[in-house]
Structure 1
Amino acid sequence: MAHRRLRAAASAVALIVAVVALAPVQMLMLRLGRPSAETIPLRFHRLALRIVGMRVRVIGAPASARPLLIASNHCSWLDIPVLGSVCRMCFVAKSEIADWPVFGQLAKLQRSIFVDRSRRTATAAVNRQMAERMAAGQPVVLFAEGTSSDGNRVLPFRTALLGATRNALAASGEAAVVWVQPVSIAYTHRNGLPLGRLGRPFVAWYGDMGFPRHLWSILRDGAIDATVTFGEPIAAEQATDRKRLAATIEREVRRLTNAALLGRPEEPARPAEDVA
């Protein structure tokens, strides 16, 4: 037990050093409007996963077509570095995160889009921000369930923020379609052993779990394996029904997640070009 606490403490110190070293650089790049402001978060997420001891298996790749909305399931705060380590992207996050110590600032440095899901009037403004990012060529990640699960299932997808696809078409002025790509995140192993239905909730972060205690348990209890599966992107037009689109994406994410949890992840039929 002592060596696990020591490992956790060493990992925590390494993460703090990484944040202290990279945060001022990212602030400067954002202020100057440099392209590296999109690359630094990618490097940070990859470094953070190495420090924590996470391994990510990626099946398929982010679509090269633009504008692109990535619709994913959501299990844990770990989903951010797991997906963020794959390619340059920005996230739609709940508004409370903006006020978190340290992690709120990190989310702002990655130019996350914050949404207050308790206010319906906020949806239109968030959709506009998402559309502007997509029209500018940046993939936007939407955790379409609107909350996190225990890692064993995919919750119903919400439809409101999928309306950003229409805004993106208007904002781009040229694109005939917006591509919506289903993505699955599945946590499969810890210290080389299958997590199973009883083990996955300890990796997931959901309900009223306290963040500091959960972070400490992740640092303390060893390596985690995650599988990220990129499905085939779906073209969304102005006339596309967002409820049907959400149902289609949800079914595909659920299928890919179940396959990964059962140890039989599926390769996509036509792998897309990596944009990392």
Structure 2
Amino acid sequence: MGTLRALFILAVLALVTPPLMLVQLALLAVRAPLAARLPVAYHRMVCALLGVRVTLHGALSERRPLLLAVNHVSWLDISVLGSIAPLSFIAKREVAGWPVFGWLARLQRSLFVDRNRRAHTGRVNREIAARLAAGDVLVLFAEGTSSDGNRVLPFRSALLGAVHELAGDGAGPAINVQPVALVYTRLCGLPMGFQHRPVVAWHGDVDLLPHLWRLLKSGTIDVTLAFAEPIPLATAAERKKVAGAAEHAVRQRATLLIAGRSLSEILPAPAETG
């Protein structure tokens, strides 16, 4: 049954994705407003096909400029986050060269950073600053890599480098850094314990295609996005402080969710989106 499910999902995606990519390419070429909304519809379709149900605690901030600082578990995080609102991602340079995934990332106007080349990083930081100043909401996986889903890794303050370009020495607008905890909580309706999170978590040396195939066969998945209040980042000197505060907020929420405990003491009631 799992194999048939996976084949059906792949068949639908293979049928629908190429024409939608062409439509998105055309929309971007003419700078149509729909280019921001089409990826949201696409990611919602992907989540529906995979049986991914997204629950929100808190909400995406309306403040701008807005940068989401999120923990990273899986390639599936892209569709989970992309299904809630028009977003673009800040990704490592290697992603741009991935078949299909890299193309989709480009069509969502993602930004690719080569962290080993300082000159390239500076150029991308300027582009990030320009996008934030224009009102785009960007997603930063602040750990710098993906985890096993059972913990939150330390946030890297260097990844908040765009503040140099946008805020200068404090004369420009502060960046609103909103911490978001992303936790996969249930598999096939049952609590997802430590031993089950490898079904979703893609990290370390795990090969992408076998992991993708296993996940497509697995069944319904529940995931929670827990939003904290945005933290203003006005100067480069505040990067470590803000990164630490964002890490604390994400870890606080993720720890409760991973343990199967309620967030009701620190957040409003959840709202299901899919």
1:148 to 143, 146, 151: 146
Q: Structure 2 CA distance, aligned partners of 1:149 and 1:60?
A: 23
1:105 to 99, 103, 106: 103
Number of the residue aligned with 2:217: 220
2:28 to 20, 27, 30: 30
**Cα drift, residue 238 of structure 1:** 2.4
Q: Does 1:184 align with 2:181?
A: yes
Q: Structure 2 CA distance, aligned partners of 1:260 and 1:130?
A: 31
Q: Does 1:235 align with 2:232?
A: yes
**Cα drift, residue 225 of structure 1:** 0.7
**Cα drift, residue 8 of structure 1:** 0.6
Q: Structure 1 CA distance, aligned partners of 2:211 and 2:166?
A: 37
Number of the residue aligned with 1:274: none
1:244 to 222, 241, 246: 241
Q: Structure 2 CA distance, aligned partners of 1:270 and 1:52?
A: 27
Number of the residue aligned with 2:133: 135
Number of the residue aligned with 1:196: 193
Q: Structure 2 CA distance, aligned partners of 1:120 and 1:243?
A: 19
**Cα drift, residue 161 of structure 1:** 2.2
Residue 214 of structure 2 aligns to a residue whose secondary structure is helix
Q: Does the 8 Å contact 1:92/1:112 carry over to 2? A: yes
Residue 196 of structure 2 aligns to a residue whose secondary structure is helix
Q: Does the 8 Å contact 1:67/1:175 carry over to 2? A: no
**Cα drift, residue 122 of structure 1:** 2.8
Deviations 1:196-225 (A, max 9, x none): 111112210001111111111111111111
> Runs of 5+ in structure 2 lacking a partner?
270-274
TM-score when scaled to structure 1?
Answer: 0.92
**Cα drift, residue 130 of structure 1:** 1.1
Number of the residue aligned with 1:14: 12
Q: Structure 2 CA distance, aligned partners of 1:239 and 1:211?
A: 36
Number of the residue aligned with 1:64: 62
Q: Does the 8 Å contact 2:191/2:260 carry over to 1? A: no
Residue 57 of structure 1 aligns to a residue whose secondary structure is strand
What code does the residue aligned with 1:264 have? Answer: R
**Deviating runs (4+, > 4 A) in structure 1?**
267-271
1:53 to 25, 43, 51: 51
Residues matched between the structures, number = 267
What code does the residue aligned with 1:250 have? Answer: E
Q: Which moved more, 1:113-122 or 1:201-210?
A: 113-122
Residues 239 and 99 of structure 1, relative CA distance in 2, 3 Å threshold: closer
**Cα drift, residue 245 of structure 1:** 1.0
What code does the residue aligned with 1:80 have? Answer: I
* Aligned CA-pair RMSD: 1.8
What code does the residue aligned with 1:138 have? Answer: D
**Cα drift, residue 239 of structure 1:** 6.1
Number of the residue aligned with 2:251: 254
**Cα drift, residue 120 of structure 1:** 3.5
Q: Does the 8 Å contact 1:70/1:182 carry over to 2? A: yes
Q: Structure 2 CA distance, aligned partners of 1:79 and 1:143?
A: 10
Q: Which moved more, 1:9-18 or 1:72-81?
A: 9-18
TM-score when scaled to structure 2?
Answer: 0.92
**Cα drift, residue 145 of structure 1:** 0.5
Residue 154 of structure 2 aligns to a residue whose secondary structure is coil
What code does the residue aligned with 1:198 have? Answer: Q
Q: Which moved more, 1:110-119 or 1:139-148?
A: 110-119
What code does the residue aligned with 2:189 have? Answer: G
Q: Structure 1 CA distance, aligned partners of 2:115 and 2:219?
A: 34
Q: Structure 2 CA distance, aligned partners of 1:269 and 1:227?
A: 13
**Cα drift, residue 89 of structure 1:** 0.8
Residue 241 of structure 1 aligns to a residue whose secondary structure is helix
Q: Does the 8 Å contact 1:135/1:169 carry over to 2? A: no
What code does the residue aligned with 1:192 have? Answer: G
